[in-house]
Structure 1
Amino acid sequence: MKRQTEAVIIGGGVIGCSIAYHLAKLGMTDVMLLERQELTSGSSWHAAGGVHGLHDTNNIARLQYYTMNLYRELEQETGQSVGFHQTGYLYLAQTEDRAHQLRISAAKARQFSGVEFHEISLEEAARRHPFVNLDGIRMAVWESESGHVDVNGVTHAYAQAARNRGVSIERFCPVLETNPRPDGGWDVVTEKGTIQTRVLVNAAGLWGREVARLAGLELPLMPLEHQYFVTEEIPEVAALDFELPAVADRDGEYYLRQEGKGFLVGAYERDGRYWSENGTPLDFGHELLDDDLDRIADNVMRACERLPVLGEAGIKRVINGPMIWSPDAAALLGPVPELSNYYTACGIIPGFSQSGGLGLTLAQWIIDGEPESDMFPWDMARYGDWAGKAFTRARTLETYGTRFSIHFPFEEREGGRPVRKRPVYDLQKQLGAVFGLNFGWEHPLWYAPEGVVAEDSYGFERQDWWHHIGAECRALRSGVGIIDVSNFAKYEIRGAGAARWLNQVVANRVPTEVGRSCLTPLLSVRGGIAGDFTITMLDEEHFLMIGSGMAERYHRRFFNAVPRPDSVSFQSMTSGWAGFNVAGPSARELLGRLTNDDISNEAFRFMRSRQMTVAGLAAKVLRVSFTGDLGYEIYVPETDQQALYQALLDAGQELSVRPVGSRALMSLRLEKGYGSWGREYSPEYWPQEVGLDRLIKLDKDEDFLGKQAYIELMDRPPRERLVVMRVDTPHNADPVGGEPIFSRSGDYIGRVSSGGYSYSTEQGLALGFLKPAYCEPGTAVDVSALGLPHNGTVLREAPFDPSGLRLRC
């Protein structure tokens, strides 16, 4: 066994083998894969093996399609059969909401992933699967390229292809320790000796928690039991001369496909069962758990009603095996911000649909510094220390039990909440707040008026709360509103050299005058938009930086990439400071009632800041506003938050002040045309495509992150441009993001990044990316909503206060 290598992968399941193959394929061949037992031990060997291209997130759907195509290539490359049965998938909808979901998915899939996914008649559905009872079915959708694979064959094909390219695979080689080295690498201690490596990858599957703890890391993972069974031979199936498609009857909450001359049937029951909560046994490998089909009896009964031929079949074997879940059932992928050269690839449920895409993504991350696509939905940094065992336990059980439920726009899950609350939580609740979760923090989404139940409802069409959000928007635009912005990420940077260090991180030139603020992008490795921040100079060599709350841990990777002098301190103040945005035409009057400072427009201009006393409290006040209106962000220590909030409410009574939630804020920024990180701003897009190139200062003294990559692409013509569109909404539904946009001749020309309704201008709006030829103001386009085309028009500028007078008045 080698004692030194470029990369070590711990875990010989399908994900670990895929990562090894992709690293070698992209040029890193000095790689070792360590497996404590035999390849496929844990969960890979007993998986049902379904593969399909459908996913709500466009980039993930694209990578699932890549995975299906890769399996055929692997078989040709290695000679190892992957057992790909391309049977197709038949998706069924029993409800109108499920039909909406399938139409939306079909519209996305055809454009973003290349998957052939389209609605078919019930007559055609019956021809494709003659045993399906279509009573009560509203809609059927056909996906032609999916099916199922031999899970052992796939895993060994990856392994063989990796070996052929130079990867070493050590079986029966348990890892005992992982110790960081002074040079940023790792010593991996195994039963066969110690290996020095630069890169360490945790792809340990069921043992992901245990391997993480060897490095002092806790991952939000929890194993649950999952059951499926295979029937004995069914004469009607045996008589067919073709293989039946898989049936995706999500409303029935089961999955079903042909297996041999019978069927394989599995379910995610509502009342799942944890397994080995405190740690996976080290001697567990190719074992199964005791079956308990009573737990899925209701699901099986619904399957038998849909396929009556199933009801007479005997059961040949039952598979009950553990699967390890993240809180949202998505992968925990990527570099760990707090550790050098340590990567995770854990918590992967649809492993055989995603193995190729996951392996490719992580290999790009390791070799190139970031993947080609924005993969934040898979990024392990979307969770922080707040996602502890109690939250993970509750949320994974909820996610398991709702695996096949419809996931609506704006949906907020309740499992494991609340985790982190601010001091004003109870007061906001008394005011009717309906809360959402943002990086562990409870924050108000909207406020229910007196007499209205403070509870969310969900659907693809506008819900009752749509009207209440409109009232919040109108109240702010005509008077003044208070928005809790405490969940914005806040960082304090101070000490000799603070300005120079910040200039090495961000692309704009940081302020040089106390009290000034600037907006700045943070560039990614490839020169895209990794983040956008407001930086304020509080004092000499003392700065406040504010950015996206949900990206706080993600951005830590970039901050850690620039060595910081010992004289410079960098501290997250997100937990320590709380804040409110006071915005609207009466914002100055409200703030003026609580301070003796001169806050006239002449004395306190837009993009300025002050440290001042507000309601008797020491506060940092920035004259900025994400609403596009006159506004101030007021930050105080968290212990003073409730006193500040109450003072604002009391002082604003005569001004008809109104609490405003984050959903209203999203509508307000939409009609102003402001981009938002994770929607308009992402590493996939170049600064010139989103209009942020004006904030990049190539002439400043310091080199900064992503500078060289940006220089290489700055003169390239934009592939797409960010535009504002008016959208007609006759179906009482708005695009929300991710939907395709077509020309009037039916050609795909772009996608929606954000959508909603402008209550100020009374029209549907969307921000989106279009090919340059279609960006001319007045261009007519078709914007998809509910999976249907809606008339859209490219606007010259944002419809609300395009000149920016209200911001600066």
Structure 2
Amino acid sequence: MTQPPAHARVVIIGGGVIGCSVAYHLTKLGWQNVVLLERKQLTSGTTWHAAGLIAQLRATANMTKLARYSQELYGTLEAETGVATGFKRVGSITVALSHERREEIYRQAAMARAFGVDVEEISPAEVKAKYEHLNIDGVTGGVYLDKDGQGDPTGIALALAKGARQRGAQVIERTCVTGITRQGRRVTGVDWQQDGARGHVAADMIVNCAGMWGHAVGRMAGVNVPLHACEHFYIVSEPIAGLGALPVLRVPDECAYYKQDAGKMMLGAFEPSAKPWGMGGIPQDFEFDQLPEDFDHFEPVLEAAVHRMPMLADAGIHTFFNGPESFTPDDAYHLGLAPEMDNVWVAAGFNSIGIQSAGGAGMALAQWMEDGAKPFDLGDVDIARMQPFQGNRTYLFERSRETLGLLYADHFPYRQKATARGVRRTPFHRHLLDHGSVMGELAGWERANWFARPGQAPEYRYSWRRQSFFDNVAGELAAIRTNVGMYDMSSFGKIRVEGRDAERFLNHLCGAQMAVPVGKIVYTQFLNPTGGIEADVTVTRLSETAYLVVTPAATRLADQTWMMRHAGDFNVVLTDMTAAEGVLAVMGPNARALLQAVSPDNFSNATNPFGTAQQIEIGMGHARAHRVSYVGELGWEIYASTDMAAHVFEVLHAAGQGMGLTLCGMHMMDCARMEKGFRHFGHDITCEDHVLEAGLGFAVNTGKPDFIGRGAVLAKRDEGLDRRLVQFRLNDPEPLLYHNEPVLRDGQIVGFVSSGAYGHTLGGAMGLGYVPCRGETAAQVLASSYEIDVAGTRFAATASLKPMYDPASDRMKV
């Protein structure tokens, strides 16, 4: 048996389809000394029993790009390697059994067109014509994708492995990684065991492709890979006479999918309450193993399936299969460079879509490793989105019970996770609950999303139309626009940058000028060398040697990691201060009056102009008042140490009772920022969106001699913009925008809505989206007619390059 070499450029841990894809794509880029170690036999963990469904459409444009790449790759692998992959394009049908589900799948169909995917909305009768065996009782509509396919998971993995071997990779089976050696923020190699032999491979880097072992392998490497195995059930029928080729069929309202293969029918399930597995660790001898049958657990799905597919009533069950697959806390896989280490990469946790994702994920990760930068925005799956606490095993057990079922649950906008809640709470948590707050969760933080009125149930009732809290949010926004409101911003990340080189470091990192007076607040971006946006932050100078960087709640770890990796020889210390201070935003025309009622300090423009911070007394305590606004109104963010935060809330709330102070939530903030055209990182601005095309050139100071991305900004100014970020408002006040709805210019799809919310002040749904504009002036862009496709219906939209609400930003500066 071949033993691993003494040294490798990269060691890939795990020989499932993902590890094989990473090895294939690295060698395709010309990498040498690529070593893949598999503890048992290739595909013996999860890959071998995967269903092999291969769909094109995913939730975002870039995830769809990766899925389509997988399809195209699998179509050529057999010719390249001689290994049969079983890949064939059979098409797929998704059917809805409710009007809400039909709205969802029709919105997905519209999104598919925006992403360049061929799709067709079909009626129940047309569903029946394409799938004669289906009982269409209760079917309200369907979506058909003719290029979707299916394949043999084992064949695909083995073909990828052979392709890697043909270009020099060493793929070594029955070799278990027993330890990973580290020095500082780098791994130095892996220890291995093969039969009775032991050894060590010195490695320049590793890739964790260990699937359901990924969490444990991550711990060996000093990195957090939150995932948990769950039991996944399917049955395969006895051969059914006359059963020919059929599209893949999904009936998400019954938690079921169907696949015809070799004259048999497979029925698989993503049931609402899953069964986590392997809490005590995965057995050492696990290889091509099945888990015990649990017919009682599967029976409700089977009963519905017999009604939906009557031929199953007469077909015997050939196989009842139960095998483990790994699931992540948010149902998105993990890809990229681990935040905790500088040479540990991850590709794991594929949530039952590993086969359709493997080709694209392997390609994207290999290119990222080659270039040292993401090939395009991968924020949806970037491992840096995971918070450290999410590696907690109790948390993963509780959350994984839900995430398997969420694959086929209604994907309503604003839908909140129900499990593993309450982990991170702000200092105002109990106060907000006592006043009717309805909590949502982001990065583990419990956040007040909206406030129920007396007599109203403080809970979400989901819909694709106007949700139960629509009027609540309208009232909260009206208070912000006309009087005064207060909301909790404590979950936003707070990173203290301190040291003698703090100013010089931040000037290197940020597009804006950081050589500002103490107390000045600067809105800026971290840019990458192509001018893309890696972070969207405010930076407050606290002293000559200290700054506070405020980031979105979900990206604090990613942003701090970016800062750390660019710290180099700068004399700075980075400290996460997020939990050290509670933050209350006091916003609206009467915000100044409220603050003057509780503090002896001066909040006038002369003393505390927009974009400055000052230390204040408030009640019987101290705080820091930052005069900034994400809602487009006069206002302050009040930073109080956590020991005084509750007191500050009580003082402000009591003083506000005579002024009509309204407690507000995050949904209001999103509606307000949409009216103002303020960008949201991860949706409207990402690492592949140029800062000038995002309309943020005002936040970049090219007069500085050296900052990351300066050359790309100057080049774009010279060559002109290829696209512009445009604000839209639907002229019809009824339909709603969320994101990914197609944008049509003069009747042709030119892009999609990057984010959307309802503009209660402006009387219609609002959206942002990029529009191609090469060689055009701003006037020419706006001279066109625009429509937005909502679930297949086009609605006329008004377009603007300036904020539709208070375009001169006078209200924030009064």
TM range (shorter): over 0.9
Note the C-alpha offset of 1:249.
1.0
Q: Distance in 1 between matches of 2:261 and 2:753?
A: 40
Q: Distance in 2 between matches of 1:716 and 1:489?
A: 36
Q: Distance in 1 between matches of 2:166 and 2:703?
A: 48
C-alpha change, 1:295 and 1:525, in structure 2 (3 Å) is farther
Q: Mean alpha-carbon deviation: is it higher for 36-45 or for 716-725?
A: 716-725
Q: Find the partner of 1:577 among 578, 581, 587.
A: 581
**1:36 counterpart letter in structure 2:** R
Is 1:777 the counterpart of 2:782 in the alignment?
yes
Q: Find the partner of 1:692 among 690, 696, 709.
A: 696
Alignment partner, residue 145 of structure 2: 143
1:512-570 per-position Cα deviation (integer Å, ceiling 9, x unaligned) = 31111111111135430111111111111111111111101111221121235585221
Q: Mean alpha-carbon deviation: is it higher for 548-557 or for 55-64?
A: 55-64
Tell me if the contact between 2:110 and 2:790 (Cα under 8 Å) persists in the aligned partners: no
Tell me if the contact between 1:105 and 1:787 (Cα under 8 Å) persists in the aligned partners: no
Note the C-alpha offset of 1:264.
0.8
Alignment partner, residue 122 of structure 2: 120
Tell me if the contact between 2:501 and 2:570 (Cα under 8 Å) persists in the aligned partners: no
Q: Distance in 2 between matches of 1:707 and 1:214?
A: 39
SS in structure 2 at match of 1:376: coil
1:7-45 per-position Cα deviation (integer Å, ceiling 9, x unaligned) = 111000000001111112233233111111111021011
Q: Mean alpha-carbon deviation: is it higher for 185-194 or for 623-632?
A: 185-194
Listed as ranges, the matches of 1:648-727 within 5 Å are 648-701=652-705, 703-711=706-714, 713-727=716-730
Q: Distance in 2 between matches of 1:681 and 1:437?
A: 22
**2:370 counterpart letter in structure 1:** I
Tell me if the contact between 2:54 and 2:148 (Cα under 8 Å) persists in the aligned partners: yes
Alignment partner, residue 161 of structure 2: 159
Q: Distance in 1 between matches of 2:182 and 2:718?
A: 42
Q: Distance in 1 between matches of 2:309 and 2:184?
A: 61
Alignment partner, residue 629 of structure 2: 625
**2:637 counterpart letter in structure 1:** E
Alignment partner, residue 757 of structure 1: 758
1:318-341 per-position Cα deviation (integer Å, ceiling 9, x unaligned) = 221111111122102111111121
Q: Find the partner of 1:82 among 54, 74, 85.
A: 85
Alignment partner, residue 619 of structure 2: 615
Note the C-alpha offset of 1:712.
5.2
1:637-687 per-position Cα deviation (integer Å, ceiling 9, x unaligned) = 112111111111111122111111111111111111111111211112101
**2:360 counterpart letter in structure 1:** G
Q: Mean alpha-carbon deviation: is it higher for 377-386 or for 410-419?
A: 377-386
Listed as ranges, the matches of 1:260-299 within 5 Å are 260-299=262-301
Q: Distance in 1 between matches of 2:125 and 2:224?
A: 52
Q: Find the partner of 1:480 among 479, 484, 488.
A: 484
Q: Mean alpha-carbon deviation: is it higher for 565-574 or for 259-268?
A: 565-574
Note the C-alpha offset of 1:504.
2.0
Alignment partner, residue 72 of structure 1: 75
Alignment partner, residue 461 of structure 1: 465
Q: Distance in 2 between matches of 1:704 and 1:34?
A: 41
Q: Find the partner of 2:208 among 202, 215, 240.
A: 202
Q: Find the partner of 1:520 among 520, 524, 527.
A: 524
SS in structure 2 at match of 1:235: coil
Is 1:802 the counterpart of 2:807 in the alignment?
yes
SS in structure 1 at match of 2:389: coil
Tell me if the contact between 1:33 and 1:167 (Cα under 8 Å) persists in the aligned partners: yes
Note the C-alpha offset of 1:389.
2.1
**2:230 counterpart letter in structure 1:** L
Tell me if the contact between 1:460 and 1:733 (Cα under 8 Å) persists in the aligned partners: no
Q: Distance in 2 between matches of 1:411 and 1:270?
A: 15
TM-score between both structures, scaled by the size of structure 1: 0.96
Q: Distance in 2 between matches of 1:183 and 1:416?
A: 31
Q: Distance in 1 between matches of 2:354 and 2:177?
A: 23
Alignment partner, residue 317 of structure 1: 319
Note the C-alpha offset of 1:708.
4.7
Alignment partner, residue 748 of structure 1: 749
Note the C-alpha offset of 1:145.
1.1
Q: Distance in 2 between matches of 1:759 and 1:605?
A: 28
Q: Distance in 1 between matches of 2:781 and 2:215?
A: 52
Q: Distance in 1 between matches of 2:222 and 2:546?
A: 33
Alignment partner, residue 225 of structure 1: 231
Q: Distance in 1 between matches of 2:229 and 2:764?
A: 47
Note the C-alpha offset of 1:110.
2.4
**2:400 counterpart letter in structure 1:** T
**1:508 counterpart letter in structure 2:** A
Alignment partner, residue 99 of structure 2: 96
Q: Distance in 2 between matches of 1:625 and 1:146?
A: 46
Note the C-alpha offset of 1:711.
5.0
C-alpha change, 1:525 and 1:290, in structure 2 (3 Å) is farther
**1:138 counterpart letter in structure 2:** T
Alignment partner, residue 562 of structure 1: 566
Alignment partner, residue 328 of structure 2: 326
Q: Distance in 2 between matches of 1:261 and 1:108?
A: 34
Tell me if the contact between 1:667 and 1:756 (Cα under 8 Å) persists in the aligned partners: yes
SS in structure 1 at match of 2:579: coil
Tell me if the contact between 1:449 and 1:468 (Cα under 8 Å) persists in the aligned partners: yes
Alignment partner, residue 23 of structure 1: 26
SS in structure 1 at match of 2:249: strand
Q: Percent identity?
A: 32
Q: Mean alpha-carbon deviation: is it higher for 422-431 or for 689-698?
A: 689-698
Q: Distance in 1 between matches of 2:563 and 2:475?
A: 40
1:361-403 per-position Cα deviation (integer Å, ceiling 9, x unaligned) = 2112211223232211111222212222222211110112333
Tell me if the contact between 2:453 and 2:472 (Cα under 8 Å) persists in the aligned partners: yes
* Poorly superposed stretches of 4+, deviation over 6 Å: none
Alignment partner, residue 180 of structure 1: 182
Q: Distance in 2 between matches of 1:142 and 1:413?
A: 29
Alignment partner, residue 110 of structure 2: 107
**2:813 counterpart letter in structure 1:** R
TM-score between both structures, scaled by the size of structure 2: 0.95
Q: Distance in 1 between matches of 2:812 and 2:473?
A: 22
Note the C-alpha offset of 1:778.
5.0
Note the C-alpha offset of 1:710.
4.6
Listed as ranges, the matches of 1:260-409 within 5 Å are 260-348=262-350, 349-387=352-390, 388-409=392-413
Q: Distance in 1 between matches of 2:338 and 2:46?
A: 24
Q: Mean alpha-carbon deviation: is it higher for 188-197 or for 75-84?
A: 188-197
C-alpha change, 1:716 and 1:281, in structure 2 (3 Å) is farther
Q: Mean alpha-carbon deviation: is it higher for 629-638 or for 768-777?
A: 768-777
SS in structure 2 at match of 1:550: helix
Note the C-alpha offset of 1:139.
0.8
Note the C-alpha offset of 1:713.
4.7
Q: Distance in 2 between matches of 1:384 and 1:526?
A: 28
**1:770 counterpart letter in structure 2:** V
SS in structure 2 at match of 1:643: helix
Q: Distance in 1 between matches of 2:163 and 2:712?
A: 32
Task: Give the length in aligned residue pairs.
Answer: 801
Note the C-alpha offset of 1:582.
0.8
Tell me if the contact between 1:209 and 1:279 (Cα under 8 Å) persists in the aligned partners: no
Q: Distance in 2 between matches of 1:631 and 1:445?
A: 19
C-alpha change, 1:779 and 1:145, in structure 2 (3 Å) is same
Q: Distance in 2 between matches of 1:707 and 1:177?
A: 43
Tell me if the contact between 2:329 and 2:403 (Cα under 8 Å) persists in the aligned partners: yes
Tell me if the contact between 1:491 and 1:574 (Cα under 8 Å) persists in the aligned partners: yes
Tell me if the contact between 2:185 and 2:340 (Cα under 8 Å) persists in the aligned partners: no
C-alpha change, 1:183 and 1:679, in structure 2 (3 Å) is closer
Q: Distance in 1 between matches of 2:275 and 2:808?
A: 58
C-alpha change, 1:121 and 1:447, in structure 2 (3 Å) is closer
SS in structure 1 at match of 2:718: coil
Q: Distance in 1 between matches of 2:759 and 2:216?
A: 49
C-alpha change, 1:787 and 1:635, in structure 2 (3 Å) is farther
